Structure 1
Amino acid sequence: MHLDEPRIPPLTDEQLTPAQREALAPASYANTPPLNIFRTLARAPEALSAFLAWGLYILRNNSLPPREREIVILRIGYLCRAGYEWTQHVAIARRGMSEAEIDAIKTGADAPVWSPADAALLRACDDLHARQFVAADNWAALKAHFNERQCMDVVFTAGQYTQVSMMLNTFGVQLEDGKALDPDLDARG
């Protein structure tokens, strides 16, 4: 997290226009109010609608198993110092990862907890973050464990969450009440 307060504040229910309310509707789950990220993006309702459509692919139709998808999301969120994203996705990752694995995301591929497939995912994320390209040896490692579509989905997922991290960090999206920021992701000050 880079800012103590939002540059672009999330909209309250009372501030929503009909177009914003319509764009925000798919981001409301089971009587849970929309998250701050969606309330912020609702200021640009057409962008929010497009964002949610692509996000639905990444989170629901992605060919990576959920655990592997979360490894990619968390590594990118960590590399981008996106405290909001990290906080949201740690809760999701806990459904299929141990606390030791979640903590090892910060160390990267060389942490001793990772299988060769997990390490390949992390190295691909590191390449994409640093060079926007997966080096040949890291691509070969991915291909040894994942099919072609899954390899594509690694890149799609890393790209989506790099964009999400850029928005969260730049717009200053703040954590929801009751959420705690991981001190390793506090880039404020």
Structure 2
Amino acid sequence: MRLSQPRVHPLTNDLTPEQAEVLAPLGQGGVIPAGPVLNIFRTLAHAPQALKAFLTWGNYILSKKNDLPAREREIVILRTGFLCRSGYEWTQHVEIGLRCGLTPDEIQMLKAGPDAGWSPADAALVRATDELHADQFISNETWTQLLTHFSQKQAMDVVFTAGQYTQVSMILNTFGVQLDPGQTLDPDLRVG
């Protein structure tokens, strides 16, 4: 975690009608198990219109409209979160990644990068994510590798997914969103 305390505190009970409306459907299932509204959403609700727009794009990334299979999508999300040093993002998506078919060993391999023993398809995903993080561009060689294993639309969704979770990581890191109750920070993502 970049910050040990939030810069923007999650909202609790004193909500405007607009904040209450945008938060009402959250925490009710889907990719995230039903339960309390997560700190990320209660933090972003300070700007309810931004949260509403954020959820629209985020729902595309996490839906079947994204042509990447869930496991492959989570490879991109987790690698992006790790590269951005986003403890909150990593913690949330480790649980999701496991449910989507990643193994605990693969999750640890994501920390090491594309040469950590991945299949060629998975290595292409990790390498593309690394290039997007470092240069905001996928090289011709890596793009060709992606297209060997994935459709053009899936390769586009790699870029969309990495871009979304880079933004999410920036938000979480800068606003100081803290882990939700019961979560433990991966020691490799402790900063400072």
Say yes or no: TM over 0.5: yes
1:115 is matched with which residue? 119
- The C-alpha deviation readout for 1:132-180, integer Å capped at 9, x for no partner, is 0001100000010000100000000000000000000000000011100
Q: CA deviation at 1:28?
A: 2.5
Give me the whole-angstrom Cα distance separating, in 2, the residues matched to 1:36 and 1:175.
Answer: 7
1:49 is matched with which residue? 52
Q: What secondary structure sits across from 2:6 in the alignment?
A: coil
Query: Residues 14-33 of structure 1 correspond to what in structure 2 (within 5 A)?
Result: 14-30=13-29, 32-33=35-36
| Match among 100, 108, 133 for residue 103 of structure 1 | 108
1:160 is matched with which residue? 164
Which structure's residues are more often helix, by fraction? 1
Give me the whole-angstrom Cα distance separating, in 2, the residues matched to 1:27 and 1:160.
Answer: 19
Give me the whole-angstrom Cα distance separating, in 1, the residues matched to 2:74 and 2:144.
Answer: 21
Give me the whole-angstrom Cα distance separating, in 2, the residues matched to 1:172 and 1:43.
Answer: 14
- The C-alpha deviation readout for 1:21-54, integer Å capped at 9, x for no partner, is 1111232215511100000000000000000010
1:138 is matched with which residue? 142
Q: CA deviation at 1:16?
A: 1.1
Give me the whole-angstrom Cα distance separating, in 1, the residues matched to 2:24 and 2:159.
Answer: 28
Q: Note if 1:63 corresponds to 2:67.
A: yes
- Counterpart AA for 1:17: T
- Counterpart AA for 1:23: V
Which stretch shows the higher mean deviation, 15-24 or 120-129?
A: 15-24
Q: What secondary structure sits across from 1:94 in the alignment?
A: helix
Give me the whole-angstrom Cα distance separating, in 1, the residues matched to 2:82 and 2:24.
Answer: 29
Q: CA deviation at 1:118?
A: 0.1
Give me the whole-angstrom Cα distance separating, in 1, the residues matched to 2:14 and 2:67.
Answer: 38
Q: Which runs of 5+ in 2 are unaligned?
A: none
TM-score by length of 1: 0.96
| Match among 77, 80, 86 for residue 84 of structure 2 | 80
Give me the whole-angstrom Cα distance separating, in 2, the residues matched to 1:34 and 1:50.
Answer: 17
2:6 is matched with which residue? 6
Q: What secondary structure sits across from 2:111 in the alignment?
A: helix
Give me the whole-angstrom Cα distance separating, in 2, the residues matched to 1:26 and 1:50.
Answer: 14
Give me the whole-angstrom Cα distance separating, in 1, the residues matched to 2:98 and 2:155.
Answer: 23
Aligned length: 186
Q: What secondary structure sits across from 1:173 in the alignment?
A: coil
Give me the whole-angstrom Cα distance separating, in 1, the residues matched to 2:75 and 2:159.
Answer: 13
TM-score by length of 2: 0.95
Give me the whole-angstrom Cα distance separating, in 1, the residues matched to 2:14 and 2:27.
Answer: 16
Give me the whole-angstrom Cα distance separating, in 1, the residues matched to 2:38 and 2:26.
Answer: 8
